[in-house]
Structure 1
Amino acid sequence: MTDSDNGLNVDRRSLLAGAAGLVGAATLPTTAAQAMPQEAASMNPSTNTSMSAATKRYPSNWPDLEPYGLADTRLDLWPREDNSYILPLELRPRDQELGRVWMRDTYVNCFVEKGRPIYVATGTTRAPGIAGPAPWNDGIFVWTSPSLRGPWRLADTTRIRPGAEKGKVWSPEFVGENRPGRTVVAPWQEYWTDEGQFGKRGNAWAPEVHYFRGKWYIVACMGDHSQKVGSFMLVSDGGVEGPYRLVEGNLDKPFGESFTGGPTWIKPGAYHHIDGSLYTEGDDAWLVLHNHLYAKFRDDMEDIVPTTGLPAFQQTPYAPEPYLEGAYVFKYGGKYYLLHAAWNRTSTNPDGTTRHAYDPPGTGRQQYHYDAVVAVSDTFEGPYSKRWTAGVGAGHSNFFVDRSGRLWATFFRNPRFGYWADPSRIGDTAVPGIVRVEWTGPKGNRLYVQRRSHGRTIDD
């Protein structure tokens, strides 16, 4: 892609700077579906494919691994020191001891508001004194910046809630803001206390921020410890900082219907489809639910279009198909990319070698890396191609395009299991990371984490 004009062409020392520097760089091996920013449209292959094809040599696709379902573990597909960095997000008081923001399910995107680019960042965070985002956390925080390099500031919520923590745009604790005809927190989203197993419960996970038709939206999920588990959407009555309210379709429950699933402590009938995402194209919008469902939104964006059973993407599943998370649709180069998070599990082949595959849990299988796997299609609904590994350890992420048309993905280094759960690495997990992405052109139609074998760096 073309060189960025948003301050990304910085030297190596600058990339290692920020709130806590390039967190965990020494621990690494040594060896995107929203409306595009308007000023980047001329460089986006979706609108200029023929010119791009005529003037640029594209990296090649790697051959598919056989059998289908094997995981690619090559170090070229890792977020590394030369292709990624940690966003220097403004610290909150709770972040001072760690020296950076603790974040899972990192989400970053670039939009144009009132003719100016605005970058947004959010993700799953934890409350002070809690080791992770469960059994409760204190809601959703948003950061904004004029460029990827920064400065990344907490959204200015001080005029909305002068006495509350800056940057917190929604939380179950805002239930007191409910008014007739305007619900901020539904009863099923409120904190609650169980019979002594966990105590205080209720958590919001995997938020995404979107700008669509001149309004700001947040799609997020009430997590496994909530009274009802599933995806919901907020709409702002002001700017990206809010104030946000709940859409009409979520006043009584999450999107979609309930089904049996989730951990054993979830009450029967409480579990709905999680990790909701929003895809927009033109004046239309769709809800994307893991791991294979979607639904179109009504024109007023207050609910999804009623249907008997949500439609499913036409995919090429693994055999057997494992549990997938974090579905996300991104359009680029005229193609649709369906992104999932999948656990790469290790097991032992008959000859004693290690097998890396996107297998379901089973005897002798160990979670190793939380990967980003992607498939491509000519249409939103599919059929989608076979999946490929787009990023090792980059699961539950999103693709996006910066203001100059360059491709990026997010990552966070999952601390739950596997490689990043090792005690020697756990301190470098749950980070707001971004990594450069390369496109293999209008013939290859694949997106990969920028591979080192092509001799590029983050500044190219």
Structure 2
Amino acid sequence: MRLDHIQIRDPFVLFDADTRRYHLFGSTDENIWSGPATGFDTYWSDDLVEWHGPTAAFRPSPDFWSHTQYWAPEVHRHEGAFYLFATFTADGERRGTQVLRSSGGPEGPYEPWSDGPLTPREWECLDGTLHVEDGTPYLVFCHEWKDVGDGEVQAIRLTPDLRGVAGDPILLFRASEASWARSIPRPEFPQVFVTDGPFLHRTADGRLLMLWSSFGDTGYAMGVATSQSGTIAGPWTQSAEPLWPADGGHGMIFADAEGRLLLTLHTPNSTPDERARFFPLEETAEGLRLS
């Protein structure tokens, strides 16, 4: 099948150099906003054009704590194994990012690895991603506007086995720090700024960049933040304009089999029409540019 045939949000592509195969993950329930969740599916391709699947990457056991709103799975190879970071929620529980581990290859199946979410249990959190810096793993995630009004991107150090946390959260930046971000109307706060989908990228010349999404002048959009220190600690400065300005976002960057950088994101931002799309990407002195 082609990408146009696959309903998916929050796309994430892992290239497995051992098999030279691409694996596509994302929020794949037909209705991810409410009702019972099925789990996560994955698709694979040899050429990024023809896709095969779906294959069940994760199906919850009857006693799994969450049964709705399964969002934004990311798969990272770490210390020789494959780990899936995903957002889960349940009635009476705070939304958070939990880590799952595959007993086999990148396609799974995945089983719970951490004991519930690694994001703070008293916070509403989502869209956790793995960042490894000088051998130390960090979970970078969004502290939702539902708690703070002005959505935040936070980081917390993980234990080497990715099963627990090893410190307190560190505030990296707030959504309103981006000049392109716009408040959305919600009754809970006078102003609401959204943070979604952080993803970190180290450029060839050593700069540390972060993709993240919010709402701009023309709807859902994605911008780029830059760490002035080149480390997770920042400080982080925001691009003046979004990299993707309208009706799409929650993207990530991967290299194809020839080493060329590609950006993937979902667009449009409306269910059930969202689809993954791929775009060639260039690193420039100013940051990132779609080519």
Normalised by the length of structure 2, the TM-score is 0.81
CA offset at residue 280 of structure 1?
A: 3.0
Please list the CA deviations of residues 191-224 of structure 1 after superposition, one character each: whole Å capped at 9, or x if unmatched.
3xxxxxxxxxx12111111112210111110147
Q: State whether structure 2 residue 219 is matched by structure 1 residue 219.
A: no
Aligned to 1:73: none
1:153 aligned residue (45, 52, 69): 52
Distance 1:226 1:279, change over 3 A: farther
Opposite residue 238 of structure 2, the aligned amino acid is K
1:395 aligned residue (246, 249, 262): 249
Aligned equivalents of 1:380, 1:254: Cα separation in 2: 18
DSSP 3-state at the match of 2:138: strand
Give the percent of matched residue pairs that are identical in Structure 1 and Structure 2.
22
Aligned equivalents of 1:258, 1:296: Cα separation in 2: 18
Greater fraction helix: 1
DSSP 3-state at the match of 2:210: strand
**Runs in 1 of length 4+ with deviation above 6 angstroms?**
none
User: Are the counterparts in 1 of residues 10 and 266 from structure 2 also a CA contact under 8 Å?
Assistant: yes
User: Are the counterparts in 2 of residues 139 and 203 from structure 1 also a CA contact under 8 Å?
Assistant: no
1:119 aligned residue (9, 14, 22): 22
1:15-414 paired onto structure 2 within 5 Å:
19=1, 88=2, 100-113=5-18, 116-127=19-30, 130=31, 132-150=32-50, 152-154=51-53, 167-172=55-60, 174-175=61-62, 186=64, 188-189=65-66, 191=67, 202-223=68-89, 227-250=93-116, 253-259=117-123, 272-281=124-133, 283-290=135-142, 291-305=152-166, 307=167, 309-313=168-172, 317-318=177-178, 322-333=193-204, 334-344=206-216, 356=217, 368-377=218-227, 378-387=230-239, 388-393=241-246, 394-414=248-268
Listed as ranges, the gaps of 5+ residues in structure 2 are 143-151, 180-190
User: Are the counterparts in 1 of residues 265 and 278 from structure 2 also a CA contact under 8 Å?
Assistant: yes
Aligned to 2:277: 433
Opposite residue 132 of structure 2, the aligned amino acid is T
User: Are the counterparts in 2 of residues 138 and 203 from structure 1 also a CA contact under 8 Å?
Assistant: no
Aligned equivalents of 2:17, 2:226: Cα separation in 1: 26
Distance 1:295 1:122, change over 3 A: same
CA offset at residue 318 of structure 1?
A: 3.8
Please list the CA deviations of residues 373-431 of structure 1 after superposition, one character each: whole Å capped at 9, or x if unmatched.
10112222211223231112331111122222211111212444xxxxxxxxx87x310
Distance 1:276 1:446, change over 3 A: same
Please list the CA deviations of residues 82-133 of structure 1 after superposition, one character each: whole Å capped at 9, or x if unmatched.
xxxxxx25xxxxxxxxx711111122232423xx433221111224xx5x54
Aligned equivalents of 1:149, 1:381: Cα separation in 2: 38
Distance 1:301 1:254, change over 3 A: closer
Please list the CA deviations of residues 64-98 of structure 1 after superposition, one character each: whole Å capped at 9, or x if unmatched.
xxxxxxxxxxxxxxxxxxxxxxxx25xxxxxxxxx
DSSP 3-state at the match of 2:87: strand
CA offset at residue 233 of structure 1?
A: 0.9
DSSP 3-state at the match of 1:389: coil
Please list the CA deviations of residues 279-335 of structure 1 after superposition, one character each: whole Å capped at 9, or x if unmatched.
235643211111311112211221221x2x411225792478822111111111211
Aligned length: 265
Which structure has more relative contact order (CA 8 Å, sep 6+)? It is 1
Aligned equivalents of 2:288, 2:238: Cα separation in 1: 13
Greater fraction strand: 2
CA offset at residue 274 of structure 1?
A: 0.8
Distance 1:243 1:318, change over 3 A: closer
Greater C-alpha radius of gyration = 1
Aligned to 2:290: 449
Normalised by the length of structure 1, the TM-score is 0.53
Opposite residue 252 of structure 2, the aligned amino acid is N
User: Are the counterparts in 1 of residues 57 and 109 from structure 2 also a CA contact under 8 Å?
Assistant: yes
